[in-house]
């Protein structure tokens, strides 16, 4: 099988290099090829998702992404929208047809103290957020700034709702069998369609799943006040962007959060943290989330769950024995990665 890596900007190349070492160790038969994305791709090729990258994806079985984007004051942010690093990311998701973004939020036993929440609230939290990734207000439709007025259109179709809801129901079947669908149906027509279609799919094909519907404002509260009430959360693109980042603070470090984006073709696997330009190139970035993304790549992309489990266990061990600075420890990128490799080898 073939994996394309897209290291990207900031700390992306460092954490991706660490992740690739781990991938080579557990799956030596995999062919790995690297391509540019984001700001550095713009510098080299004049666009953030260049043809050379697009072509390579056609043969990929899975894609491992680093991080994309510059500092707050980067000149990249002043480019016209379609040339900015983030547009490369959106185009990549679209090219791969990745409509379902999976973000597990798990508080590792023994690491409760890292959470901003009281330990008794953080303990045992195990949520999977499934975010729709191609539609809603992110879609390419009617959008513009016209002098003193700007608008975007939030849109969903039944087909878009059903395909991502299926992923959520399927995931819940492997977990605790509960799905919370999040919307703002008391205000938005789009949410009314969302709620109707998710419920109809459940009633038609997933009767064993316990489904409930909650408003996005209420979920934003409850995910902090009582996170243990959630198993699988499924929601549209913008709500998912906000809620998945919010939930990601519960374990206490973004450095612990991998993600998988699944859809029509090859899946896309990436840490959820940003490009952290302030620490880029210093060799101190925490590669745990990138390595955990390799775990998700093995499980969902290459269907090798044994190898995935090995990686997950090795990361958990390394986190306990060689925590990085963001976790209050002293390990740098190299030390942490070596610890993972040793416990794998």
Ligand X SMILES: CC(C)[C@H](C(=O)O)[C@@H](O)C(=O)O
Q: Which of 97, 34, 92, 32 is nearest to 68 (CA)?
A: 92
What kind and span of H or E run contains 225? helix 216-225
Expressed in angstroms, the distance from the first to the final Cα of the chain is 22
Instruction: Tell me the angle at which helices 216-225 and 237-248 cross, rounded to the nearest 10 degrees.
Output: 10
The C-alpha atoms of residue 182 and residue 237 are separated, in whole angstroms, by 11
Chain residues in the site for a copy of itself (CB under 8 A): 77, 81, 84, 86, 90, 116-118, 121, 137-138, 142-145, 148-159, 184, 186-190, 192-194, 216-218, 220-221, 224-225, 238-239, 241-243, 245-246, 248-249, 254
273 versus 300: smaller Cβ distance to a copy of itself: 273
Count of residues touching ligand X (by CB under 6 A): 7
Is 138 part of the annotated catalytic residue set? yes
Task: State in angstroms the smallest separation of the CB of 3 from a copy of itself.
Answer: 27
Q: Does 165 bind ligand X (CB under 6 A)?
A: no
Task: State in angstroms the smallest separation of the CB of 48 from a copy of itself.
Answer: 12
Backbone angles phi, psi at 248, to 5 degrees: -65, -20
What kind and span of H or E run contains 270? strand 267-271
User: Which range in 4-12, 84-92, 199-207, 246-254 contacts ligand X by CB under 6 A?
Assistant: 84-92
Query: Residue 279's binding partner, choosing from ligand X, a copy of itself, none, with beta-carbon cut-off 5 to 8 A by kind?
Result: none
243 versus 302: smaller Cβ distance to a copy of itself: 243
Of the residues 184, 206, 230, 312, only one is catalytic, namely: 184
136 versus 301: smaller Cβ distance to ligand X: 136
Is 184 part of the annotated catalytic residue set? yes
Q: Does 98 bind ligand X (CB under 6 A)?
A: no
The C-alpha atoms of residue 43 and residue 64 are separated, in whole angstroms, by 21
Contact between 279 and 11 (Cβ < 8 Å): yes
Of the residues 140, 203, 217, 278, only one is catalytic, namely: 217
Contact between 13 and 1 (Cβ < 8 Å): no
Supply 232's token pair: 């699988």
186-203: burial string, b at 16+ Cβ within 10 Å, e else: eebebbebbbebbeebbe
The C-alpha atoms of residue 276 and residue 292 are separated, in whole angstroms, by 18
Distances (CA, A) of 279 to 77, 81, 134, 203, 258: 19, 26, 31, 49, 19
Supply 10's token pair: 């900031």
Task: State in angstroms the smallest separation of the CB of 185 from a copy of itself.
Answer: 9
Query: Residue 71's binding partner, choosing from a copy of itself, ligand X, none, with beta-carbon cut-off 5 to 8 A by kind?
Result: none
Is 94 part of the annotated catalytic residue set? no
Contact between 98 and 133 (Cβ < 8 Å): yes
240 versus 295: smaller Cβ distance to ligand X: 240
Of the residues 99, 138, 206, 230, only one is catalytic, namely: 138
Annotate each residue in 176-215 with x if it binds ligand X (CB under 6 A) or - if it does not, as one string.
----------xx----------------------------
25 versus 192: smaller Cβ distance to a copy of itself: 192
Is 58 part of the annotated catalytic residue set? no
DSSP assignments along 277-312, one per residue: GGGTTSS----HHHHHHHHHIIIIIS--HHHHHHHH
Task: State in angstroms the smallest separation of the CB of 24 from a copy of itself.
Answer: 33
Question: Which residue among 64, 89, 134, 256 contacts ligand X (CB under 6 A)?
Answer: 89
User: Which range in 5-13, 48-56, 83-91, 221-229 contacts ligand X by CB under 6 A?
Assistant: 83-91
Q: Does 241 bind ligand X (CB under 6 A)?
A: yes
Which residues are known catalytic residues?
138, 184, 217, 241, 245
């Amino acid at each position: 099988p073939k994996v394309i890596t897209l290291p990207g900007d900031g700390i992306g190349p460092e954490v991706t290099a660490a992740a690739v070492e781990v991938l080579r160790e557990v799956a030596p038969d995999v062919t790995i090829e690297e391509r540019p994305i984001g700001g550095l791709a713009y510098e080299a090729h004049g666009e953030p998702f260049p043809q050379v990258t697009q072509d390579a994806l056609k043969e990929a079985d899975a894609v491992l992404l680093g991080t994309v984007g510059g500092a707050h004051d980067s000149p990249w942010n002043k480019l016209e929208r379609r040339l900015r690093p983030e547009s490369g990311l959106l185009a990549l998701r679209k090219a791969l047809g990745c409509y379902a973004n999976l973000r597990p939020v798990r508080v590792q036993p023994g690491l409760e103290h890292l959470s901003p929440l009281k330990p008794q609230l953080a303990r045992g939290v195990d949520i999977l957020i499934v975010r729709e990734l191609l539609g809603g207000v992110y879609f390419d439709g009617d959008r513009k700034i016209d002098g003193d007025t700007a608008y975007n259109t939030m849109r969903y179709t039944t087909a878009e709702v059903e395909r991502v809801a299926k992923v959520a129901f399927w995931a819940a079947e492997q977990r605790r069998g509960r799905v919370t669908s999040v919307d703002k149906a008391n205000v938005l027509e789009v949410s009314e369609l969302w709620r109707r279609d998710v419920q109809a799919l459940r009633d038609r094909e997933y009767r064993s799943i316990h489904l409930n519907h909650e408003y996005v404002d209420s979920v934003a509260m409850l995910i902090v006040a009582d996170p243990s009430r959630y198993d699988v959360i499924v929601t549209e693109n913008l709500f998912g962007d906000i809620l998945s980042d919010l939930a990601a603070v519960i374990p206490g470090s973004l450095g612990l959060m991998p993600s998988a984006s699944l859809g029509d073709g090859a899946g896309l696997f990436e840490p959820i943290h940003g490009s952290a330009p302030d620490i880029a190139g210093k060799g101190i970035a925490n590669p745990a989330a990138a390595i955990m993304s390799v775990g998700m790549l093995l499980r969902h992309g290459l269907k090798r769950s044994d190898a995935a489990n090995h990686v997950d266990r090795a990361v958990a061990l390394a986190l306990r024995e060689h925590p990085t600075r963001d976790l209050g420890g002293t390990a740098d990128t190299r030390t942490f990665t070596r610890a993972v490799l040793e416990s794998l080898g």
